[in-house]
């Protein structure tokens, strides 16, 4: 994938420990740009192990139950491994737009001393809201006092029709006008095309799985599928 012309390719990994995830992704590391570690899938959370064995820019996500993840810890406990990841100067950590703003500021303050960027994420697992609501979500992401480029937006909805997919992709034009890095695409079968299209429409990053059986979200494309599609457009 030619950098600068297409968005980044992020493979999402779920597994009980760092060693398991490393063995999953190691043969394909040269084909992706970023590796997402789903901390909420791990039995043994070890940030240092992940950083030492997976030599690629890492994105750490600890998704709570209330946003479709598996972490049932308190919010204060949930951000502990994210803070540890920032101390390790990882490439990215994910934090939800709906989460406590006080905790977001805590992460931003820690990240200010490192090169870590915060992926500020928002998911809708039921549908795709009207355009006005999507615009409001994007505006909330952009309304922050973080240094330019410190925050990357991520807006993901569930598409039931092709109109849903178009509404989400439209957000890329607004983000570009504001010089705000944004990843946006849709879950669900009608939204699968957005996972490819966003790469060519200014999207910062799209998320894939290694194999269909390891998908971490509905409608997620596998690395093999996306590589085949991008090859056709090369």
pLDDT in tens, 20-58: 999 999 999 999 999 999 999 999 899 999 999 999 999
In a domain, 3, yes or no: no
Mean of pLDDT values over 129-151: 91
Give residue 1's pLDDT band: very low, low, confident or very high (50, 70, 90): very low
**pLDDT tens track for 161-196:** 999 999 999 999 999 999 999 999 999 999 999 999
CA distance 231 to 14: 27
pLDDT attached to residue 16: 95
The boundaries of the domain holding residue 209 are 8-233
Nearest CA among 124, 65, 121, 69 for reference residue 95: 121
- Residue 131 domain flag: yes
Q: Which residues are catalytic?
A: 123, 154
Residue 188 maps to a domain? yes
According to DSSP, the residues that pair with 95 across neighbouring strands are 120
Domain count, the chain: 1
Give the E-state strand segments of 69-220 in sequence order.
92-96, 117-123, 151-158, 182-187, 205-208
Of the listed ranges 5-9, 97-101, 202-206, the least confidently predicted one is 5-9
Residue 203: which residues within 8 A CB-CB, separation 6 or more? Answer: 7, 172, 182, 183, 184, 185, 197
pLDDT bin (cut points 50, 70, 90) of residue 215 is low
The pLDDT score that the predictor gives to residue 148 is 77
- pTM of this structure: 0.93
* Residue 213 is assigned to a structural domain of this protein: yes
Give the pLDDT mean for 133-157: 91
The pLDDT-based confidence of 144 (bands split at 50, 70, 90) is confident
Burial 156-181 (b: 16+ CB within 10 A, else e): bbbbbeeebbebbbebbeebeeeebb
* Residue 1 covered by a domain: no
Q: Is beta strand 117-123 parallel, antiparallel or unpaired with respect to 92-96?
A: parallel
Rounded Cα distance between 41 and 39, Å, is: 5
The answer to the question of residue 111 being in a domain is yes
Burial track 65-96 (b if 16+ CB lie within 10 A, e otherwise): eebbbebeeeeeebbebbbbbbebebbbbbbb
**C-beta atoms surrounding 46 within 10 Å:** 16
Residue 52 placed within a domain: yes
CATH of the domain at 98: 3.20.20.70
C-alpha span between 194 and 196 (Å, rounded): 5
* Coil/strand/helix, residue 158: strand
Q: How confident is the model at residue 5, as a pLDDT? A: 53
Establish if 61 belongs to a structural domain: yes
- In the chain, the percentage of residues whose pLDDT exceeds 70 is 96
């Amino acid at each position: 994938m030619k950098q600068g012309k297409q968005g980044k390719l992020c493979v999402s990994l779920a597994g009980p420990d760092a060693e398991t995830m490393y063995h999953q992704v190691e043969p394909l590391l040269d084909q992706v740009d970023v590796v997402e570690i789903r901390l909420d899938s791990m039995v043994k959370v070890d940030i240092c192990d992940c950083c030492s064995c997976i030599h690629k820019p890492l994105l750490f996500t600890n998704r709570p139950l209330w946003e479709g993840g598996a972490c049932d810890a308190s919010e204060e406990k949930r951000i502990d491994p994210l803070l540890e990841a920032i101390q390790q100067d990882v490439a990215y950590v994910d934090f939800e737009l709906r989460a406590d703003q006080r905790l977001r500021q805590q992460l931003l303050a820690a990240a200010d001393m490192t090169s870590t960027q915060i992926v500020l994420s928002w998911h809708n697992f039921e549908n795709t809201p009207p355009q006005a609501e999507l615009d409001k979500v994007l505006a909330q992401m952009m309304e922050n006092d973080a240094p330019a480029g410190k925050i990357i937006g991520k807006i993901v909805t569930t598409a039931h029709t092709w109109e849903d997919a178009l509404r989400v992709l439209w957000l890329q034009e607004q983000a570009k006008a504001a010089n705000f890095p944004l990843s946006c695409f849709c879950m669900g079968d009608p939204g699968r095309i957005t996972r490819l299209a966003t790469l060519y429409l200014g999207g910062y990053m799209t998320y894939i799985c290694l194999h269909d059986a390891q998908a971490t979200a509905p409608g997620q494309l596998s690395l093999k599928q996306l590589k085949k599609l991008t090859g056709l457009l090369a």
